Amino acid sequence: QIRRFTGNDYTKDLVSGDVLACQAYSGDVIQLQADNPDIRFVVPEEGAELWSDSLMIPDLAAHKANAERLVDYYYAPEVAAELAAWVNYVCPVPAAQDILASSDDKDTAALAENPLIFPDATMRSRLAIARDITSTERVEFARRWNRIVGL
């Protein structure tokens, strides 16, 4: 039974127990588990999408070199490790895992073994990276989605 379609406010429903299952961001689940270890993140046997935010620079950016330096900064393993420890989302920099593991803080070091930050081989075998969709597909998907949610 589908209760409703929501935005990021689904976390309140998980915490209160008003929903038993939902589509959730892995980083949100890690943060919610701090207060309720019974909240779990599960990748269905059928699979799921491996998703992360992307850093992009517009082709005609006025200060492209500065933006490239910022991207390089965020992808430096030490910085990526610090960011992963702060946000608890999937880290796109594999070398950050070793940096987190070597932390003197046991909670930070434990993040290196969290498959919600660094998906292990078992989880990765059930994850797919979605292809880019065409502008025609985007319009069709939006039309279908709007019909589903009643818009």
What does each of the 151 residues of the chain score in pLDDT, given as a tens digit?
Answer: 777 777 788 898 888 888 888 889 999 999 999 889 999 999 999 999 987 777 889 989 999 999 999 999 999 999 999 999 999 999 999 999 999 999 999 999 999 999 999 999 999 999 998 888 899 999 999 999 999 888 7
| 109 is a domain residue | yes
Domain that residue 117 falls in: 43-149
| 105 is a domain residue | yes
| 134 is a domain residue | yes
Q: What does the pLDDT read at residue 19?
A: 85
pTM for this predicted structure:
0.79
Pair of tokens at residue 7: 């935005």
Rounded Cα distance, 35 and 56, in Å: 34
Q: What does the pLDDT read at residue 51?
A: 78
| 145 is a domain residue | yes
Cβ atoms of 139 and 124 within 8 Å: the answer is: no
| 14 is a domain residue | no
Q: What does the pLDDT read at residue 74?
A: 94
Pair of tokens at residue 37: 């270890």
| 140 is a domain residue | yes
Q: What does the pLDDT read at residue 130?
A: 84
Q: What does the pLDDT read at residue 132?
A: 85
| DSSP codes joined into one string, the chain | ------STTHHHHHHHTS-S-----HHHHHHHHTT-TT------TT-EE---------TT-TTHHHHHHHHHHHTSHHHHHHHHHHH-S--S-THHHHHHHT-SSHHHHHHTT-TTTS--HHHHTTEEPPPPPPHHHHHHHHHHHHHHHT-
| 8 is a domain residue | no
| 54 is a domain residue | yes
Number of domains in the chain: 1
